[in-house]
């Protein structure tokens, strides 16, 4: 006979040490002891008689006990031992609680410390400790949603830290991608925050990141009547989006126009790691033209006074000022932010490929740093799509605008 709420509520112990069982059907029964009332389900699995605890009364009501019984019966029908499933679920929850955002973030910081300069590592650590960990640090990283991260980032926006909030979002994304690689999370949920944050234009490296304005800038570059080396550098920089210092120090010995590759040695790179830049058809054409001028020397863009030294570090920024782009509007370094933003938010290119092409630290599925040739075919196609997209912007074609916050 099925149990009733009234019976369960009023059931008393008979004093027996083993307690008294009151069945409800389907293997479910209420075990009444002096110490309390316990829900159990008896079942057979693989020829063995087993018992599964379903909770205690009144924390678990008769209705909830019946619901848990049905879930157990569903598992049995699927060929799964509900007792073992409960143990696995308990272990999974314990593992999730052990992998909080703070623990994963600190592990990531430790694993990647050698890939950053000491000053940069300190800044990244401070950002996490001050702006992220206090809000989501104690949460299991597998349970964190986009809104949780957005809440922390919005607090940065509220206090006016617009120059840092996008960088902190990127750092959070790197932590999540590390968690994916180590099995602590399923995906990088920061990708769902596109367009949710205020885009900051001003700053040390000002950048144009709106497609229409980028098209205006590209037209200005192609109309600029400056020195041929300067014009060529201005045309090439948006296509390769390397750091300005890496561009002006480029040597012909590093560039293979036949294979369309520019191999930058680690001694010239910020991260001190060799970097490979696939060259689009447009980039190769620019280099072929400038080769007729400087191909006999060492540097692709030699200084205007002497070919023994590379182009001055102020040349490109000075040209941008002459074109009417003030320092707080766009800088030579800003072409990197332009590419990073538009390729991600408009073209939907893979973030890991973009980050790799920016020479940022990117890990593979085993947590190891990619070498310079990693994903080269995919990166080559991405760079050609980017070059073609820039041509369309310069021609004034219809473009998709960035989402506003």
Helices 228-240, 315-322: inter-axial angle, 10-degree rounding: 100
Q: Report the predicted TM-score, pTM, of the whole model to 2 decimal places.
A: 0.51
What is the mean pLDDT of the segment spanning 69-97?
81
Q: Number of structural domains, the chain? A: 3
pLDDT (tens digit, 9 = 90+) per residue, 40-74? 999 999 889 999 999 999 999 999 999 999 999 99
Examine the domain organization and report whether 231 and 316 are in the same domain. yes
Examine the domain organization and report whether 220 and 161 are in the same domain. no
Examine the domain organization and report whether 109 and 240 are in the same domain. no
Residue 402 pLDDT exceeds 60: no
pLDDT band at 202 (very low <50, low <70, confident <90, very high): very low
Examine the domain organization and report whether 134 and 258 are in the same domain. no
The last residue of one of the domains, among 140, 167, 193, is: 193
Beta carbons within 8 Å of 188's beta carbon, 6+ residues apart: 173, 176, 177, 180, 351
Examine the domain organization and report whether 123 and 180 are in the same domain. yes
Specify whether the CB–CB gap between 85 and 99 falls below 8 A: no
Instruction: Give the three-class secondary structure for 277.
Output: strand
Q: Which residues are catalytic?
A: 243, 270, 333, 336, 360, 370
Task: Give a yes or no: residue 405 inside a domain.
Answer: no
Please give the pLDDT value at position 371.
56
Please give the pLDDT value at position 125.
92
Please give the pLDDT value at position 365.
46
Please give the pLDDT value at position 97.
64
Examine the domain organization and report whether 379 and 333 are in the same domain. yes
Please give the pLDDT value at position 384.
97
Q: If you ran DSSP here, which 8-state letter would residue 79 be given?
A: T
Examine the domain organization and report whether 359 and 220 are in the same domain. yes
The last residue of one of the domains, among 93, 114, 141, is: 93
Please give the pLDDT value at position 203.
45
The tally of CA atoms less than 13 A away on the side-chain side of residue 9 is 4
Which residue segment(s) compose the domain that 329 sits in? 211-395
Examine the domain organization and report whether 216 and 318 are in the same domain. yes
Task: Give a yes or no: residue 161 inside a domain.
Answer: yes
The enclosing domain of 163 has a CATH number of 1.10.150.130
Checking 227-231 for CB contacts under 8 A at 24+ apart, the result is 227/304, 228/290, 228/293, 229/290, 229/293, 229/294, 229/301, 229/302, 229/304, 229/311, 230/311, 230/315, 230/316, 230/319
- What's the CA angle centered on 176, arms 404 and 158, to 5 degrees? 40
What is the mean pLDDT of the segment spanning 380-403?
83
Tell me whether the omega of the peptide bond preceding residue 58 falls within 30 degrees of 0, making it cis: yes
pLDDT (tens digit, 9 = 90+) per residue, 228-237? 999 999 999 9
């Amino acid at each position: 006979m099925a149990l009733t709420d009234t019976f369960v509520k009023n059931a008393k112990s008979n004093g027996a040490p083993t307690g008294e069982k009151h069945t409800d059907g389907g293997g479910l029964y209420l075990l009444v002891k002096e110490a309390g009332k316990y829900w159990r389900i008896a079942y057979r699995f693989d020829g063995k008689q087993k018992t599964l605890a379903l909770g205690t009364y009144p924390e678990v009501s008769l209705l909830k006990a019946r619901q848990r019984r049905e879930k157990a019966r569903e598992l049995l029908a699927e060929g799964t031992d509900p007792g073992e499933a409960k143990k696995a679920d308990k272990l999974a929850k314990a593992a999730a609680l052990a992998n909080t955002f703070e623990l994963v973030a600190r592990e990531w910081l430790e694993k990647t410390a050698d890939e950053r300069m000491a000053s940069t590592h300190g800044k990244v650590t401070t950002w996490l400790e001050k702006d992220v960990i206090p809000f989501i640090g104690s949460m299991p990283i597998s349970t964190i949603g986009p809104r949780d991260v957005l809440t922390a980032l919005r607090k940065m926006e509220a206090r006016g830290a617009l120059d840092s909030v996008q960088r902190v979002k990127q750092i959070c994304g790197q932590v999540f991608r590390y968690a994916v690689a180590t099995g602590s999370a399923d995906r990088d949920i920061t990708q769902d925050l596109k367009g949710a944050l205020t885009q900051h234009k001003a700053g040390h490296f000002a950048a144009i990141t709106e497609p229409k304005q980028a098209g205006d800038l590209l037209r200005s570059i192609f109309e600029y009547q400056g020195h041929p080396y300067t014009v060529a550098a201005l045309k090439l920089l948006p296509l390769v989006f390397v750091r300005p210092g890496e561009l002006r120090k480029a040597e012909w010995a590093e560039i293979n126009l036949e294979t369309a590759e520019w191999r930058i040695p680690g001694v010239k790179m910020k991260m001190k790691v060799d970097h490979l830049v696939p060259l689009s058809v447009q980039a190769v054409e620019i280099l072929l033209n400038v080769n007729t001028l400087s191909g006999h020397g060492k540097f692709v863009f030699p200084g205007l006074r002497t070919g023994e030294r590379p182009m001055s570090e102020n040349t490109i920024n000075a040209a941008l000022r002459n074109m009417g782009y003030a320092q707080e509007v766009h800088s030579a370094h800003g072409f990197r932010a332009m590419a990073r933003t538009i390729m991600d938010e408009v073209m939907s290119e893979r973030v890991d490929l973009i980050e790799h092409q920016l020479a940022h630290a990117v890990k593979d599925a085993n947590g190891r740093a990619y070498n310079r040739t990693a994903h080269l075919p995919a990166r080559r196609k991405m760079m050609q799509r980017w070059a073609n997209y820039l041509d369309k912007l310069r021609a004034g074609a219809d473009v998709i605008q960035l989402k506003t916050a």
